[in-house]
């Protein structure tokens, strides 16, 4: 499973990436804000995007809407 992690707190983001990697998941990218998450999703096409809700530039919910516009087949959980 290819995962993109988006959170504006780099220490927290690094911790999540470490846990996912140790569990055998492939982390294909990281983003520090919602806009970066949208761009990285378009470029990397991960299977899963973990989004923080409160991020600068574009919050997680706004990023989710933008990501779903890029690919309407993407499901949200």
pLDDT tens digits along 31-62: 999 999 999 999 999 999 999 999 988 999 99
Residue-wise pLDDT tens digits, 8-28: 999 999 999 999 999 999 999
User: Could you give the dihedral angle defined by the CA atoms of residues 64, 67, 69 and 74, in that order, rounded to the nearest 10 degrees?
Assistant: -90
The pLDDT value recorded for residue 72 is 78
- The answer to whether the beta carbons of residues 74 and 65 sit under 8 Å apart is no
- Domains along the chain with CATH numbers: 2-70 (3.40.50.2300)
0.85 cut: is pTM over it? yes
- Other CB atoms closer than 10 Å to residue 13's CB: what's the count? 19
56: closest CA among 29, 37, 40, 74?
Answer: 37
- pLDDT of 76 over the 90 cut: no
């Amino acid at each position: 499973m290819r995962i993109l992690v988006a959170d504006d707190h780099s220490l927290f983001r690094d911790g999540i990436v470490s846990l996912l990697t140790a569990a055998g998941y492939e982390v294909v990218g990281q983003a520090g804000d919602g806009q970066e998450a949208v761009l990285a999703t378009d470029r990397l096409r991960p299977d899963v995007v973990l989004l923080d809700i409160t991020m600068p530039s574009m919050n997680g919910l706004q990023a989710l809407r933008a990501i779903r516009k890029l690919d309407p087949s993407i499901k949200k959980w």
